Chain A
Amino acid sequence: MSAGEIPKRSAARPAFLLTRDLQLHVVRSLLPSVLVRRVWVLSLVLCVAVGCRDVQQGKVTPMETWKAKDVLPAEIDGRGPAAPPEVFVPSDLYKYLNGGAAAYLAYDFQELAVASYPIGSGNETVLVEIYRMGKSEDAFGLYSDGAEGEHPQVGQDASYGAGLLRFWKGYAFVRILWLSEESDPRDKIVAIGTDIDSRVPEAGKRPRLLRALPPEGLVADRAIYFHTVISLNQLYYLSDGNPLGLGAQTDAVFAEYEIGERAPKILVVRYTNEREAAMAFEKFEAVYLADRPPDGGSRRADDATSARIELLEDGLAVGMLRERQLLALCFEAEPIQAQALLDKTAALYRTEFGEDKKAGGE
């Protein structure tokens, strides 16, 4: 997955609409033209009515209201779950994941449905976890941390390795873990994923902030979307506390690059307002570069922007750039690389969010 990539599949409409569209096309091609309009209107009314009935009967569910449990397979290889599926909500997710729950609660987690299906003849199982998120961007976010591996065509993005299939689609993040001694369950696990994929209502949006990442040198599968300092600490610990002021309302992307012999990292944060972005710049500077007071040469600032490139003791630079609601940090780069990456990030950000450098943001 690369920055700004168009989803592999176009936003799919519910199956019933596709079916009715096809029927309409056939009907229109057969009927005399004078009848077409009446039939079309009649069919449209029928479509809406049938669609509403399907929603009420649970066959088709708007992505905001579907339940994770309904997406679980009824059976795998002809066998139902070993025990009734369990459902966890934010307040009790720790019962399932203990310390691991924080990684999910750092996103807009709504519910998790889990079921374990027996396979083979022994105590082997395949574990299916359906995470329903409050936003499709957050389903992508969960997927993005750990997206390395093979990428089968399941959901909007999928990764597979060592008996674990992970994918996201719409508001869903799905993990399927094959707990058996079978040496290569890849095809079976992908088939299960494809089956689950077919029940997730719709495709969803990727985070817009991904489009602020310069594509040149970006390492595949290493652009991770998140919100909170807990997630940042897991990705790239910077300091104690939360000097960047990250929280549920901040959008952030951490990305790894390979440029020449260096492996720069970029952290891009979009704050809800300029003041928060400016405060984050100053606090981070005070914490991270406490021993390097700005000398006027390494830092430039005005009302809308602040920028600084500082060479550190390891011979590599840290770069900081704040522009309106954007804060971009670059680590482990040559000074000239840091400058270039930050400039490109700011330019891409302006294009995406329309926050003109001088005219102000949202």
Chain B
Amino acid sequence: MKEDRGLTRRDFIRDTACAGMGVTLGMASAAPAPPSGQGKARVVVVRDAGALDDKNRTQSDVLERMLAEGITAFAGTATAAEAWKRYFRSDDVVVLKSNVMINPTRPEVVQAIMKGIGTVGIATDQIRVWDRNRGGVGPAQADPRNWEWTPGFDANSVSNAVAEATALVNVTSLKNHRLSGLGAALKNWCGAVTRINPMDLNVAFAFHGDSCADMGMLNAIPAIRKKCRLVVVDALRPLCNGAQLDPRYLWPYKGLVIGTDPVAVDSVCLKIVQGRRDQIKGGSWPLSPPPKHVAVAAEKYKLGTADLSQIEIVRLGWEENAFV
């Protein structure tokens, strides 16, 4: 970041050109090594042309197969059952942080993850899902229309769902966002806290300024950072433009993006959304505002890597217009 006068469009264009489309504002080279210190951050992009039908309805059997293949490839195990055991124990209370706003996470994705986690031996009522102050318990309540749980918030304005969980799963959807440029893994935690507003007036977490550059502060909340064991982004039908749901800019990518490093996941998601925007325009159509929070999450909050050269992207399945 330019310390004295901030980042300008010129910096963005110049740095991106120098970095060979480094995607995350060209600041990626300054990002630290992956948190594990064991090489590149792995992100799996799994797609299947049959994941949605011609009316964009989720094909649950295909989706569950995609998820199994994806988690297996991500964990590097022989089977999906082994992969789930890599991240969850039978005595865990697992809470999925979903997203119900503007192109919400599909209930079928939540349900598939709940089923997968259930193979570890966790009781159905110990696997939950929530966003903001509503949620559901078990796969039968994967759909927000069936949510009956109201977890509430603690004195620090963080959802009680976080405290009640021994393990969290970040299950979000992929979209362009008018305040932050990108809505994916890092942004999803906005629905885990209360007392926030876009003007940052009298708030518990002031992150909206400068195009939400400090969004990473939410992922850096100790309980969230410590407990979040998996990130799954619903990229079945992402939104590449718009402040609201606009079907003109939804497209059937038919994918899931899986990882544990939220910054790496967002960097890959960013490349996918940017690819679609450029495809629509037949040239460069940069996300606006630029999603600074991805690079800032790496640099300032040390939440992961934004440097694509330090991310191992594992592509599985359908390859047409993958953009990564």
**B81-115 CB contact bits vs A (8 Å, 1 = yes)?**
00000000000000000000110000000000000
Of B66-74, B122-130, B238-246, the one with at least 4 CB within 8 A of chain A: B238-246
Q: How far is the CB of B16 from chain A (nearest CB, A)?
A: 11
Residue among A163, A240, A241 facing the most chain B CB atoms (10 A cut-off): A240
Please name the 5 residue pairs, one residue from A and one from B, whose CB atoms are nearest each other, closest first.
A240-B6, A103-B243, A162-B247, A233-B289, A98-B101
CA distance A105 to B289 in the complex (A): 17
CA distance A163 to B248 in the complex (A): 8
**Closest A-chain residue to B213, C-beta based?**
A240
A101 at the interface (CB under 8 A from B): yes
CA distance A161 to B241 in the complex (A): 14
Q: Assuming A239-B6, A312-B10, what are 5 further A-B pairs, CB within 8 angstroms? A: A100-B243, A148-B248, A161-B248, A233-B288, A314-B14
B204 at the interface (CB under 8 A from A): no
From 272 to 303 in chain B, residues with beta carbon under 8 angstroms from any chain A beta carbon are 286, 288-290
B271 at the interface (CB under 8 A from A): no
Of B37-45, B159-167, B173-181, B307-315, the one with at least 4 CB within 8 A of chain A: B173-181
CA distance A290 to B197 in the complex (A): 33
From 171 to 215 in chain B, residues with beta carbon under 8 angstroms from any chain A beta carbon are 177-180, 183, 187, 190-191, 197-198, 210-211
By the criterion CB–CB under 8 Å, are B10 and A313 in contact? yes
**Closest B-chain residue to A235, C-beta based?**
B288
CA distance A162 to B243 in the complex (A): 16
Total contacting residues, chain A, CB less than 8 A: 38
> Which residues of A lie under 8 Å from residue B10 when comparing CB positions?
288, 312-313
**A312-341 CB contact bits vs B (8 Å, 1 = yes)?**
111000000000000000000000000000
Q: How far is the CB of A189 from chain B (nearest CB, A)?
A: 11
> Which residues of B lie under 8 Å from residue A101 when comparing CB positions?
198
By the criterion CB–CB under 8 Å, are A237 and B9 in contact? yes
From 213 to 269 in chain A, residues with beta carbon under 8 angstroms from any chain B beta carbon are 230, 233-241
> Which residues of A lie under 8 Å from residue B197 when comparing CB positions?
94
From the candidates B6, B7, B183, name the one contacting A99 in the complex (CB within 8 A).
B183
CA distance A314 to B17 in the complex (A): 10
Q: How far is the CB of B109 from chain A (nearest CB, A)?
A: 18
CA distance A161 to B280 in the complex (A): 15
A45 at the interface (CB under 8 A from B): no
